[in-house]
Structure 1
C-alpha cells in the first residue's frame, strides 16, 4: 500500500466512522482489508482504493464495516454485568416502581452478545421484573453485524466464550453445529443501524446506556462530542457503563464516576450537554416493538 493510499483510507475512516488510526497502523488496515480485496476480485489494495475513489459507495461501506467490526462475547469482562445485577437494577426497580418500565441502550451492540447477555440477566430476575415494560435497543454502525444479532445464531466457539453452561441450556436451542438463542430473548432486543458520529436524539431517553469498547478508537474531540450527546440521551438518574479502558476524566463533567464501581457513571446532577435540566419520565418515542418480561 502506498503512503497516499494509506492517508486516503485513514481520512475516510476518520470522517465516516470516527476511527482514529495513527501513522503506524498500516499493518492493521492491510490485515483487515486484504480479505475484502480478494473477495472483490482486486489484485491489491491500491486497486481497491482506486475503485473507492471512483465513487463506489458499496465498497466504501464494506471497507468501513471491515475496519470497525470488533470482537465481542457473552458477559464480556463480567464486572459490568455484576454492576447491572447488583447496583443498577436494584436502583432502577426502586426509582421506576411507579411506571414499571426501563429503557436500555447498547450503543455498540455488534453481533448481539452484550444485549442478549443483559436480556438473560433480566430474565434471571424473574418475579422482580414481572409486569415491567422492558426495552433493549442494540445499535451498531455495521448492518452486517446487526443482521447476525437479529438471527441470534452463534457457533459452538462463540457460545463457549463467557456464557455459563446453565444459561446455554436454558436459553438456547441447538441447530446442527450452531446454537440459536430462544425467541423470547430475541424479542426483548430491538436493532437499529446507527453511527455514533451522527445525531441520535430521536432515540429518546434511556435509563441505562452501555457504551463499551468503542470510544477507545476515537480521538479526544470525538469522545467529548459523544459524551455530550450521551448526556442528553440519558435520564438524570440513569447509569452509563463504559469499557475498562474508557473514562470520562479529562473529557467531560456531564458524568461522574461511582466510587468503587469501575466503569460505572451517572449524570452529574441534572446537567446535560446543553446546560438544561432534564425531566425524569419525559415523553419518549417508542420503538416498533416492545417485549415485556
Structure 2
C-alpha cells in the first residue's frame, strides 16, 4: 500500500465513520481490507483503492474497518450502575408518566441491548404497567441483522452471560442459542452513523455510548457529546466506556460522583447528589 493510498483511506474512514487512524496504522488497514479485496476478486489494496475512488465498495470498507467487539454484560460495572443507580432514579423521576427510553448508540451484534433487556426483566413487578423502549443503533447493517435475529454461538453466550440467564432467556438449537421473542421484541433497531443527525430518534432517559468515541478525534467527540446532550432528558444518564470521558472536552455533561463512566447532562435536577455513594475501583 502506497503512502498516498493510505492517506486517502485515512481521510475516507474519518469522513464516513469518524475513525481517526494515526499515521502508523497501515498494518491495521492491510489486515482488515486485504480479505475484502480478495472477496471481490481484486488483486490487492491498490486495486481496491482504485475501485473506491470510483465510488465502489465504500460501505463495505467502512464496515470492515469498524470494530464490533462486544459481549454480554461487558465490563460489568455499567450494568451494576444500571441496576443499582440508574433505574431506581429513573423509576422515581418518571413515576408520573411510567415510561423510559434507553438508547444503545453502538449496539453492535446486540449483546449490550439484550443485557439491558435482561436487567429490566429481572426487575419483575417493579416495571409492571411501564412502557420501556430500548433502541439499538449501529453504523453496520450487517451487525444489526445479527442483533435482530438474537442468535449466538456457544462461545458468544459463554462470554459474560451468567448460566442462569442463559437457561432463563435463551433457547438452544443445535450449537446455537437464540434469545427469546419477548426480549427480542423489547429492542428496536436503527442503522445510524453518529456523525450524522440523530434527532429523529427522539429524546432518551438513558444513553449507553460505550467504546465507540475512543476512535474519534477530539473535535468529533465534542460534537457528538453536545448532540447527545440535546437528545437526552435534563435528568438523564449517559454511560461511557472505561477508557472514555467527557472531562476536558465539554460542559454538556458532568460526572456522577463515585460512579465511574456515568454522567448526567449539566443542569440535571440535583438528583445525582441523592444517589447512593458506592466506591468503585479504578
Structure 1 residue corresponding to 2:232, chosen from 228, 234, 244: 234
Normalised by the size of structure 2, how large is the TM-score?
A: 0.94
Q: Structure 2, unaligned stretches of length 5 or more? A: 270-282
Q: Distance in 2 between matches of 1:101 and 1:88?
A: 14
- Once the two structures are overlaid, the 10-residue window that deviates more, 109-118 or 46-55, is 46-55
Q: Distance in 1 between matches of 2:186 and 2:34?
A: 37
Q: How does 1:1-293 map to 2 (within 5 A)?
A: 1-56=1-56, 59-269=57-267
Q: Distance in 1 between matches of 2:43 and 2:121?
A: 50
- Equivalent residues of 2:105, 2:138 under 8 A apart: yes
- Equivalent residues of 2:239, 2:261 under 8 A apart: yes
Q: Which secondary structure state, in structure 1, belongs to the residue aligned with residue 196 of structure 2? A: coil
Q: Distance in 1 between matches of 2:2 and 2:139?
A: 28
1:228-277 superposed Cα distances (whole Å, 9 cap, x missing partner): 0001000001000000000001110010001110000001115xxxxxxx
Q: Distance in 2 between matches of 1:75 and 1:267?
A: 24
Equivalent residue, structure 2, for 1:277: none
Q: Structure 1, unaligned stretches of length 5 or more? A: 271-279, 281-293
- Equivalent residues of 2:100, 2:205 under 8 A apart: yes
1:149-199 superposed Cα distances (whole Å, 9 cap, x missing partner): 000000110000000000000000011111100000000000000000001
Q: Distance in 1 between matches of 2:171 and 2:52?
A: 42
1:114-137 superposed Cα distances (whole Å, 9 cap, x missing partner): 000000000000001111100000
Report deviation, 1:38: 1.3
Q: Which secondary structure state, in structure 1, belongs to the residue aligned with residue 4 of structure 2? A: helix
- Equivalent residues of 1:69, 1:142 under 8 A apart: no
Q: Which secondary structure state, in structure 2, belongs to the residue aligned with residue 199 of structure 1? A: coil
Normalised by the size of structure 1, how large is the TM-score?
A: 0.91
What is the aligned residue count?
A: 269
In the TM superposition, structure 1's runs of 4+ consecutive aligned residues that sit over 2 Å from their partners are none
